[in-house]
Structure 1
């Protein structure tokens, strides 16, 4: 039996989080937390130890990329970044497992998850 991945999602738009929740449910994943900004995301990861993070880049208080770097300081959690924009040239996107452009479909999300969290 394959382990169900525990995932935290972050986006400042509720409808986007709901969409990810539906897609992840279809893929057999458990959404164990949702954040609307990068600061909440960091706290959720500290408290819940997810297997994977899926986050938007542009959010209030702390961007998804800043949160990914902060999480990487203390935890080894793969991060998939989703955005309506390409990774900004002035940002270091090397700390993320994959980068997806919105809108994200089920096949792209499934491939990114398999890349970030290969089956054991």
Structure 2
């Protein structure tokens, strides 16, 4: 039996984390953990070593971009960034991203087809 893709989710909004916690298993994925800020995400990735990360850009303590950069120092995990802004770099701190493991950007609210397409792209980039 093929193991489901193991995904870590980070967002400072509990309802967004709950949405992914409910949705991802229905799509055949395993949620290995949730974080409410970038620092927690870094630690979560170090301990669970997920196959994929889905993270919000703007979070307390450490942004999703900063967390992605920190994670990529020691782990090779594709990362999907979520943003409530129209496009990356508009005014959410993503203009000067230099993390090669960020494979996609999704605008909130995330549609299921867009999420599945981003996960597929992330898996093929890994």
Determine if the TM-score, normalized by the shorter chain, exceeds 0.5: yes
Q: Is the 8 A contact 2:72 2:99 kept in 1?
A: no
Q: Is the 8 A contact 2:8 2:50 kept in 1?
A: yes
What whole-Å deviation, never above 9, does each CA across 1:68-103 have from its counterpart, x for those lacking one?
011011000000001101322533165311000000
For residues 16 and 76 of structure 1, what CA distance do their matches in structure 2 show?
25
For residues 89 and 62 of structure 2, what CA distance do their matches in structure 1 show?
15
Tell me which residue corresponds to 2:89.
88
Stretches of structure 1 that go unaligned for 5 or more consecutive residues are: none
For residues 5 and 76 of structure 2, what CA distance do their matches in structure 1 show?
15
For residues 63 and 96 of structure 2, what CA distance do their matches in structure 1 show?
11
Stretches of structure 2 that go unaligned for 5 or more consecutive residues are: none
For residues 6 and 27 of structure 1, what CA distance do their matches in structure 2 show?
12
Task: Report the number of matched residues.
Answer: 120
For residues 29 and 62 of structure 1, what CA distance do their matches in structure 2 show?
26
Tell me which residue corresponds to 1:113.
119
Tell me which residue corresponds to 1:28.
28
